[in-house]
Amino acid sequence: MNHDAQDLPGALPLEKASPSLIVEALKAVAGHPPGVRASFAKGHCVRGRYEPSAEAGSVTRSKSLTRPAQVLGRFSVGGGNPHVADTNGLVLRGFSVRLSNEASSNFLFENAPVHFARTLDQMLAFLRARIPGPDGKPDAERVKAFSEANPETLNQARFVAARALPASFALTTYWGVHSFPATSETGATRFIKFKIVPAGGNATFSEAEIPGLGADFLRDDLEARIQAGNVRFDVIAILDRPGDDCSDVTKRWSDEDERPGVVLGRITIDALEPNGTCDASVFDPAGLAEGIGHPPDEIFAARSPAYRISLSKRS
């Protein structure tokens, strides 16, 4: 029997991947639910404020990060299924943020420090390997073969699977998986990675506690913590070192967790916002105030057009 190269287990697609094909594949993996985001479909819109630290200017001259700003945010659960249970510990938690003053910047964070694909072609092949068949399940052998041929695509899943179920959006650490060129107030430029650390520390549930949780417990917890004034995060810049790979989003920098970070400021979430406020547009990652540049990897370059294609499909 003859096979096209793109149909062989572990192979990358023959056709060049594009943002539109990525969105199509994300929707297919989720079963084409109508009117929702292609990824992180389940979410909750919030409002708050950002206060910069005195040290922010040593890293970036971005007005979004060096001056007080209003925050529009969205906490979310990964995947394209808007009804995914919050008890599913194998999908990501996300936190999208727009900081607005005289400038505006959008930042995208998730509770894993790496992405699941290095290139757009690899991302498309990863997703296509997981599109469900007639039985509603992906072909396990195809997924296994692709993973064996592309082992770096498991880095994200392994990171998430090794950790207990997050107990709260407000008590979870988030990362920006990309390396951003940041220019300081003195004009010096270096790469940074973002890390968002909850002021109250991290909290998780044990396996024994999960059966007693509701499918939407994260929203209930979020509402209670906002009312109590307990949703605060430090925005931290992890600084690069010579030799760091700034283009491969499937890899972490060496000793990344041990490096001293610079606290740029604090985000405080004050209120839940109607989801329509966040759903009317996208948190376009290309929208960054001067002082934070675009990362050099091709996954980031595809995000902005992919988000806009996804918005057009759900509008």
CB 78 within 8 A of CB 57: no
Residue 79 CA to residue 251 CA, distance in Å, equals 21
Cα–Cα distances (Å) from 14 to 122, 128, 193, 298, in that order, read 11, 13, 33, 18
Burial group, residue 127, by CB count within 10 angstroms (0-12, 13-18, 19+): buried
Name residue, tokens 């692709």. Answer: 146
- Contact between 271 and 226 under an 8 Å Cβ cutoff? The reply is yes
Whether 307 has a binding-site annotation, put simply, is yes
Q: What is the DSSP string of 13-67?
A: PSSPP-HHHHHHHHHHHTT--TTS-SSS-EEEEEEEEEEE-TTGGGT---HHHHS
Q: Is the dihedral of CA 61, 66, 67, 71 positive or negative?
A: positive
Closest CA to 217 of 93, 80, 127: 93
Q: Is 252 helix (H, G, I), strand (E, B) or coil?
A: coil
| Amino acid in position 267 | I
Q: How far apart are CA 233 and CA 266, in angstroms?
A: 6
In our burial notation (b when 16+ CB lie closer than 10 A, e otherwise), range 237-252 reads: bbbbeeebebbebbbb
- Residues at the binding site are 307
- Residues at the binding site for heme are 307
